[in-house]
Amino acid sequence: MVDYTLYSLIAKVGDDDEAGLFSPHVWKTVLDCKYLGLPFKTVGKSFAQIPGEFSEQVGRAVQVPTIKCGEEYVNESWVISEYLENTHGTAGKSLYGGSAAGKRFCKFIELWTYSTFADEFRPILYPVVYSHMDSASQSVFKNVIWGDDTPKWKAATARLADPEWLERQFEMTRKRMKLLESFLAASDGPFLMGQEVSHADFSVSGAYAWCRMHKDMDQAVWRHHSLPKLGEWLDAMLQSGLVETRRLK
């Protein structure tokens, strides 16, 4: 069996590589590998290390997740999923349900999750992510997210203390999640594509893991009474044996 190295995101240089994961995109690749039964070791890189020493190591600009097999590096979660599917997937064990239509559905869910859906909860999470980082990563992150605009960063952070603003964001996030609720209601199993998990479920699981960084997101969104099918899906994912709860924030 091939051994992979999975380059992940850590908040601070020196953090345990196997500790809590908060990058939603890394979670997708972790779950892809676990579903296919692929062994891997995790190497953490901080937000500041990725465009610097890690990109120099790879020989080109990269992000995480990146996997390495031998001397080959594969970057970006969807590209990695295609690589793993082409290399290890079978008709009975496929990240995309074993069909072209399934692959298109998985791609749609991934794109929707990290555009339309995530647009509502990113404003909640960005200041929380920033607060966990070391100073070097904070500097890079602040520049990427807020254009190194200190007043904008302070305003984004201050909003987290406003319960009315938070509830509005939670409500908008729940409205976006009605799409998932409808897919799950029409499914013939506990997962988005039926009885078997797929990359579509892993994409949404990555978003869930990311949302866990804010203390209220679990109950205010993912287990809200207005989204019963989503709550059932979450239980199924957490009981699947694929999600290591110790790695959730």
Let me know if residue 127 belongs to a domain: yes
Residues 142 and 66 in one domain: no
Quick check: pTM over 0.85? yes
Residues 166 and 228 in one domain: yes
CATH code for position 159:
1.20.1050.10
Q: Which domain holds residue 195?
A: 100-242
Residue 135 CB: number of other CB atoms within 10 A? Answer: 8
Name the helix (H) or strand (E) containing 33.
Answer: helix 24-35
Let me know if residue 249 belongs to a domain: no
Residues 106 and 212 in one domain: yes
Per-residue pLDDT tens for 204-239? 999 999 999 999 999 999 999 999 999 999 999 999
In this predicted structure, what is the pLDDT of residue 57? 94
Q: What is the mean pLDDT of residues 89-109?
A: 97
Residue 1 clears pLDDT 70, i.e. is over it: no
Residue 51 and residue 80: Cα distance in Å, rounded?
A: 19
Residue 8 clears pLDDT 90, i.e. is over it: yes
The number of folded domains in the chain is: 2
Residues 143 and 69 in one domain: no
Per-residue pLDDT tens for 174-192? 999 999 999 999 999 999 9
Residues 21 and 56 in one domain: yes
Residues 204 and 147 in one domain: yes
Nearest Cα to Cα of residue 74 among 58, 93, 53 = 58
Which of these ranges, 11-15, 141-145, 168-172, 176-180, has the smallest mean pLDDT?
Answer: 11-15
Beta bridge partners of 9: 45
